[in-house]
Amino acid sequence: MKGIDPYFNDFLSEIRLTSSQKDDLKRGHKILRDRLTADTTLKHLIVTTFLQGSYRRSTAIRPFGEKRADVDIIVVTNLDKSKFSPQETLNLFIPFVEKHYKGKYRLQGRSIGIELSYVDLDIVITSAPSEVDQEALKSKSVTTDMMLEEVTSGNNDWRLIKGWNEPDLTKSFAAQNLSDSQKKEAEWKLEPLHIPDREANKWEDTHPLEQIRWTRDKNKNTNYHYVNVVKAFKWFRALRLTDIKHPKGYPIEHMVGDCCSDGISSVAEGVCLTLENIVHNYRLNRHLSTVPGLADRGVPEHNVWKRITSEDFNSFYDSIVTYASIAREALNETSIARQVAKWQELFGDKFPDAPEEDNNSNKSGGFTQRTAPSNPTGGRFA
C-alpha cells in the first residue's frame, strides 16, 4: 500500500489540528488551570488538574466550519461525595467562572462549559480519590499537557509510573529512553474518578486515564496507525453522515477502537477493515433493530452507546455498509488514480487529487507516482 500512503499522509495533515489551534488549546487550558490553582477559595479544594478527551488521546480532528477546538480539564478535588451533592459541588465553582468567564460559561449535565473566541473548554470536577491515588494523580505522567502522539518517542512511551517525565523533543529518541528499571516498573492501577451528574443528582464513575492508556496500547498494536484511523473515520463521519445525529464524538471513537484490527500496515487498510468489521460485528443488531452495548474502558458497567436510538443506529449501519464497499474497492485497486477517486468518496476534497495517469499505465497495471513530496507531521503517528 506504499503507493497510496503519501496521499493519506497529506490528507491527515489537512484534518489534524493546526499548530495555531494546538497553541490556542494550550493557552486556553493553561490559563484556566493556573487561575484555578491560584484562586483563594478553590485552591484549598483542588488536589490537581489534568487533561482528558480526544485532544489528550491525539484523536481530535480540525473543527468543521465555525466550530472551535475543545479540550477537557479534569479538576480533582478533596470534596467528600457523601457530603456534597453534584449541584452543591458545581455551585462552589460558580463564583470562579463568574469572575473569569462571565457571560461565556454554561452549566452542563456533568461539567461547566466555557466558550471563548478561540477555544472551548470543559471543566470536569471530581470528588476526592483515595490518598494513594491522590499522590499518583499529582505525578507528571498524569498532569502533562502533551498529546499522546507527542509522548511516543523511542523507548520513552507515556507510562503511568512515578519516574516518567515528558520527553525533550529537541533530543534524539535514544537520548529519551527510560531506564531499565522504569521499563520494568508496573504501572499504577488507579480507581475510577467520580464526577457530578447534576441532572440525575448522583455521582458517576469515569476513568479518563484508562481511556488514554487503552489508546496508547491499541496504537502500538496497530503499528502506530490507530489514532490516524480514528481521525480519518471522524472526518468521514462528519462529512458524509450529516443526516445522522448520533453516534458522534467518543462513541464513534470507541466503536472504531473495538473494530480496528491489530497488525494493520497502513491507515488505508485500517479504515477499510474497521468499516467491514462494523458491518460484520453488528449485523445481528441491525437485523433485530437493537443498539449494540459498548463497555467503557475502565468502567465496563457503563455503556457508551446508551444514548443512541435504534433509528440512529440503523441509519448509521446502513451507511457504513455502503462506504465499506467503496473502501474495499479502493483498497483492491491497482491504479492510484482510481484508488484516490474512491477514497475521495469517503473523505472529500481534503484527500489530495492524483496526477493524471500515463496513457500506458492501465495497460501495464502500473500507476503514476506522486511528483511532489509529502511532509507528514506527527512522527510515528503520521
Residues 196-213: tens digit of each pLDDT: 999 889 999 999 999 999
205 CA to centre of own chain: 19
**Cβ burial 232-242 (10 Å sphere, 16+ → b, else e):** bbbbbbbebbe
- Bigger pLDDT: 10 vs 1: 10
Q: Is the pLDDT of residue 139 over 80?
A: yes
Kindly list the catalytic residues. 70, 72, 122
Residue 382 pLDDT: 39
Arithmetic mean of pLDDT over the chain: 89
Residue 180 pLDDT: 66
Q: CB atoms < 10 A from the CB of 218, how many?
A: 20
Residues 345-360: tens digit of each pLDDT: 999 999 999 987 533 3
Q: Is the pLDDT of residue 142 over 90?
A: yes
According to the 3-state scheme, what is the secondary structure of 172-186?
Answer: CCHHHCCCHHHHHCC
User: Are 196 and 87 a contacting pair, CB within 8 Å?
Assistant: yes
Q: Is the pLDDT of residue 375 over 50?
A: no
Q: Is the pLDDT of residue 52 over 80?
A: yes
* Average pLDDT value for residue range 37-61: 96
Going by pLDDT thresholds of 50, 70 and 90, the confidence category of residue 154 is low
Q: Concatenated DSSP letters for 152-172? A: --TT----SSTT-----TTS-
Q: How many CA atoms lie within 13 A of 271 on its CB side?
A: 29
Residues 225-283: tens digit of each pLDDT: 999 999 999 999 999 999 999 999 999 999 999 999 999 999 999 999 999 999 999 99
Residue 355 pLDDT: 84
Q: Which of 81-85, 101-105, 166-170, 345-349 has the lowest mean pLDDT?
A: 166-170
Residues 311-370: tens digit of each pLDDT: 999 999 999 999 999 999 999 999 999 999 999 999 999 999 998 753 334 433 434 445
Residue 66 pLDDT: 78
Q: What percent of the chain lies above the pLDDT cut of 70?
A: 88
Please give the Cα distance from 174 to 81 (Å, whole number).
45
Going by pLDDT thresholds of 50, 70 and 90, the confidence category of residue 156 is low
Going by pLDDT thresholds of 50, 70 and 90, the confidence category of residue 166 is confident
* Average pLDDT value for residue range 151-167: 77
Residue 165 pLDDT: 83
Residue 178 pLDDT: 66
Going by pLDDT thresholds of 50, 70 and 90, the confidence category of residue 31 is very high
Please give the Cα distance from 26 to 37 (Å, whole number).
16
Q: Is the pLDDT of residue 63 over 70?
A: yes
Residue 175 pLDDT: 52
* Average pLDDT value for residue range 82-102: 96
Residue 362 pLDDT: 43
Look up residue 367 and give its DSSP letter. -
Residues 282-300: tens digit of each pLDDT: 999 999 999 999 999 999 9
